[in-house]
Structures are given as structure tokens and as C-alpha cells.
């Protein structure tokens, strides 16, 4: 646990070479958090910022599926804490929603090590008590909410990590034992806007359609006017 850190993912990069087993890094005050695509992750004091460092030996295409493992684990931890399963949902590819607004995000990064080895950093940010100001958000961002503001649940970061670490360990064991399919089904059971219209935007394209599923590689599948489209990476808009 660190009183202040620039970014828990950055700290993971600095210390991964000295670690020998899965390790959580918790930052009580994160000053330079980051999200997908190099975007800033605004992190008011009292919110949750932590990174899990893993040393998986599976191929990259399997390793990246842990974003879904982490999403299911985070959803389950929030439900265990609040008892309100109906309030939460998962937004492809890496967000947790509370009553349809953004509560949390997940960021995976690969950390190169010596001798051709690498570690995996799974960064998790949750608005436990405060939301970032709108001026800190990228244009078009989904409105943020906080756990305390919506549910009245008050929890400090250290306590929340206890819930999340236990939940992630259970999901990781399931993933390691049975593969992605049970995680895929669990993710879909928690998915936001399944069967509804959405738009997936990337730097190269914009595709609109009905959210059909995610496939065995984690790609978003949309039913469009031109048939099914598989999307590997994009920002999703409802």
C-alpha cells in the first residue's frame, strides 16, 4: 500500500522485475492515473486505485482475456459489498456501470521483463466516494457516478481491496481451470445493453448495430445492416 503514487500501473512497471508472485499494489492517492488509449484517469482522494501484477505463461491472445476476468470479479465484489446486483452492469470492453453511469474502469498493460519474460498489470479504478469533475473528462465521456453517492455505501480503499482480491482469485481460478467460456457466459449475464443498439467507434471506423454477444476471443459482435461484425477494439456509445 502506497500513501501517494503517480500511477499504480506505473509502479507495477517499476517493481515487477523484483516480484516473484501475484501482487496487488494499492495507491491511496494516485496523482497521474491513466486509462485506455493513454487517456487520463481522474482519481479524487478516497477513491480506489490498485493494480494486480500477474506472471501468466499463456499466449497473448489468452492473457488479454483477463480484462473480462477482472470485470466479472469487480462486478461480483461490488455486489458482495452492496447486495445490489440489479444496479451494476458491464460495458464492453472494460467499464463497470452503476445505474447506467460509469463507476469503474479496468486497464491491462504488458510489462517486459528480462530474458524474454513479461508480466501483466491489471489496473482497476473505482469511484468509491467522489466523481471526477466534468472538466477532467474527455469529450463524449459517459457521466461518472460514485458508489457512495448512488448507493450510500461507504467503504475505504483498503477494505474494498479485500473484497476485490478475493473475488478476483476465485475468477482467476475458474479461468485457469475451465478456460474463457465460463467467464464469457458470466460476463454476458452482467452485460449492459445486450440485444440493444450501440455504436463502436475507433480511429479507423464507426460501426452501429445490435449488441449480439462477445466471441471466444473477447471481440464485440454487432448485428448490422451488412451482417455480423466482430470488433477487436473500440469505444462503445449507447
pLDDT digits (tens, 9 = 90+) for 20-42: 899 999 999 998 887 766 667 77
Per-residue DSSP letter, 60: H
Options 3.30.565.60, 3.40.50.300, 2.30.30.100, 3.90.1150.180; CATH for 197-237 is 2.30.30.100
Alpha-carbon distance of 220 to 237, in angstroms, equals 13
Predicted local distance difference test score (pLDDT) of residue 112: 96
Predicted local distance difference test score (pLDDT) of residue 116: 85
Q: Which residue has the cell 482519481?
A: 43
Do β-strands 235-237 and 206-214 pair in parallel, antiparallel, or remain unpaired? unpaired
Q: What rounded mean pLDDT belongs to the chain? A: 93
Nearest in space to 77 (alpha carbons), one of 161, 180, 188: 161
Q: Is the dihedral of CA 158, 85, 149, 9 positive or negative?
A: positive
Predicted local distance difference test score (pLDDT) of residue 43: 76
Predicted local distance difference test score (pLDDT) of residue 137: 56
- Residue 217 pLDDT greater than 60, yes or no: yes
Predicted local distance difference test score (pLDDT) of residue 142: 82
Alpha-carbon distance of 82 to 152, in angstroms, equals 9
Where residue 140 falls among pLDDT bands split at 50, 70, 90? Answer: low
- Residue 10 pLDDT greater than 80, yes or no: yes
Tell me the backbone φ, ψ of residue 35, rounded to 5 degrees: -115, -160
pLDDT digits (tens, 9 = 90+) for 37-83: 666 777 788 999 999 999 999 999 999 999 999 999 999 999 999 99
Name, in order, each residue with C-beta under 8 angstroms of 175's C-beta and a sequence gap of 6 or more. Answer: 65, 66, 69, 182, 183
| pTM score of the predicted model | 0.94
Residues 8-187, CATH architecture:
2-Layer Sandwich (3.30)
Predicted local distance difference test score (pLDDT) of residue 82: 97
Per-residue DSSP letter, 145: -
Give the gyration radius of the chain's Cα atoms: 17
Per the CB < 8 A criterion, the answer to whether 156 and 58 are in contact is no
- C-alpha distance from residue 71 to each of 3, 61, 139, 221 (Å): 26, 17, 24, 18
Q: Which helix (H) or strand (E) holds 203?
A: none
Per the CB < 8 A criterion, the answer to whether 87 and 153 are in contact is no
Where residue 195 falls among pLDDT bands split at 50, 70, 90? Answer: very high
pLDDT digits (tens, 9 = 90+) for 221-233: 999 999 999 999 9
Q: Comparing 124-138, 164-178, 192-206, which segment has the lowest mean pLDDT?
A: 124-138
Predicted local distance difference test score (pLDDT) of residue 133: 72
Predicted local distance difference test score (pLDDT) of residue 33: 80
Q: Say if residue 216 is exposed, middle or buried (CB neighbours under 10 Å; 0-12, 13-18, 19+).
A: exposed
Alpha-carbon distance of 182 to 144, in angstroms, equals 29
Instruction: Render 26-49 in DSSP notation, one character per residue.
Output: EBSSBSS-B-GGG-B----TTSEE
Where in the chain is CATH 2.30.30.100? Answer: 197-237
Amino acid at each position: 500500500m502506497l500513501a501517494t503514487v503517480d500511477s499504480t500501473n506505473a509502479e507495477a512497471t517499476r517493481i515487477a522485475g523484483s516480484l516473484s508472485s501475484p501482487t496487488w499494489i494499492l495507491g491511496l492517492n494516485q496523482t497521474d492515473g491513466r486509462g485506455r488509449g493513454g487517456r487520463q484517469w481522474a482519481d479524487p482522494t478516497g477513491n480506489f486505485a490498485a493494480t494486480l501484477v500477474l506472471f501468466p505463461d499463456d499466449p497473448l491472445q489468452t492473457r488479454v482475456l483477463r480484462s473480462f476476468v477482472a470485470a466479472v470479479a469487480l462486478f461480483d465484489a461490488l455486489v458482495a459489498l452492496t447486495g445490489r446486483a440489479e444496479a451494476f452492469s458491464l460495458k464492453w470492453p472494460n467499464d463497470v456501470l452503476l445505474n447506467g453511469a460509469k463507476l469503474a474502469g479496468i486497464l491491462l498493460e504488458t510489462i517486459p521483463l528480462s530474458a524474454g519474460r513479461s508480466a501483466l498489470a491489471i489496473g482497476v479504478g473505482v469511484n468509491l466516494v467522489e466523481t471526477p469533475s466534468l472538466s477532467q473528462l474527455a469529450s463524449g465521456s459517459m457521466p461518472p457516478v460514485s458508489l457512495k453517492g448512488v448507493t450510500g455505501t461507504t467503504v475505504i480503499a483498503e477494505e474494498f481491496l479485500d473484497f476485490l482480491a478475493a473475488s478476483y482469485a476465485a475468477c482467476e481460478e475458474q479461468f485457469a481451470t475451465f478456460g474463457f467460456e465460463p467467464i464469457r457466459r458470466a460476463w454476458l449475464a452482467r452485460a449492459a445493453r445486450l440485444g440493444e443498439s450501440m455504436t463502436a467507434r475507433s480511429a479507423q471506423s464507426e460501426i452501429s448495430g445490435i449488441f449480439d454477444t462477445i466471441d471466444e476471443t473477447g471481440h464485440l459482435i454487432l448485428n448490422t445492416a451488412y451482417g455480423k461484425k466482430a470488433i477487436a477494439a473500440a469505444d462503445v456509445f449507447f
